[in-house]
Structure 1
């Protein structure tokens, strides 16, 4: 049944609703209504109240508007003149059907198709199904030309579906490698690691972001540095810090398991081990890339003599090593981009386009004062 401006509403009595839901135990309803706890019963079963609406039948609307659709009107006139078709037919109520399904006309004043799709998508009995499910539900009773495309277009424009549905396709956006540093310490990235266990020693310090960024801004301004703040939970922006922190956390876990004790005591060892280990991107250790040689350890112990190159020769050798490192970084980035782009899809936006912002990966953050589990996956849309 479809609603129309001529609908008439009436409220069902509690006794009637009670008899419907408790048909097998009619005496229970009568006893409850006769007790003094009638008001409490009504409050407890308030959801059993309903509004019964007398609405015109969808078949009547189809019959009255069939002539507004030129294609269906021609088909119906041919059938009435005796020109039978194997697919179309008229039933006893003079309703045009296609293979037993009701033909829904395309009208301007009374958009029956849009009302049917809205009824099959947004009501409490459907709750936003996908285009395929919605199409198979409607095609059992109704038909019109381009029905599947219209349903897909209707679902794609549903705002709630775009906010809560999981994206079942490749991630959007090709990999954008980080810019190559031109020299040593040219670009410094920084990130904060939270959620670590408490340490036995207490350090009295102010590390809140509001205070820290003010101090950091003053320092950067004094030395002429530019600060670029990146989005959290977004490794595509801060991939350098995210990957390094992941490796350091794994090393810290292993160090605590092997050598026991508090984790803060192992930080100097973690820093030394990482800086002195081989990196596949530059094909050497960070220590060797910075100082020109590998740091001495009990496993790698070599005698250090006097430097054979000084002055301009040393600068020239340093520039040569930096060029080699930059070429290796460029080669590694091209290889990583080639691998990553096979699992991604290109997506471009123009000024004026709108997009949703994905917020579901942000664990621990609550949006709209709702529980994290039921918060929307996306917010927006926002205009570029």
Structure 2
């Protein structure tokens, strides 16, 4: 027992056998601003730096599995979050600024698993935005500097996506 009245085990807080408390810790770890929806291994590694309880690894695995029963969706979410985080860390913009561009880039990138673009698979046609229009004058509605900056960001995101 430390001077703060909290039981510690190897510099980690010992969490009592209170399922609601453990669930709350796991929810915070799974939904924090810096690691939204991490995979089981990442979440366990993050939590075990600060907390300890008997059966923690199994509890974390069960918690993550219950979050999404579809592993492909969990992997897609993780990939998008990694891509978004990398773009923000590259000082391309804030999370709020980059999210629409990351979403656009992802949805308009060929996926071999479905043999087409996700947007096309969902709606039956390719996404058409001012960034893709080639007719004279149409793209000038937003101003050439804005369009050029956005195109450059989308290209950078595409390169990041290829790397991941």
Q: Find the structure with the greater CA-based Rg.
A: 1
Per the normalisation by structure 2, the TM-score is: 0.46
Q: Which has the higher contact order (CA 8 A, sep 6+)?
A: 2
Structure that is richer in helix per residue: 2
Per the normalisation by structure 1, the TM-score is: 0.21
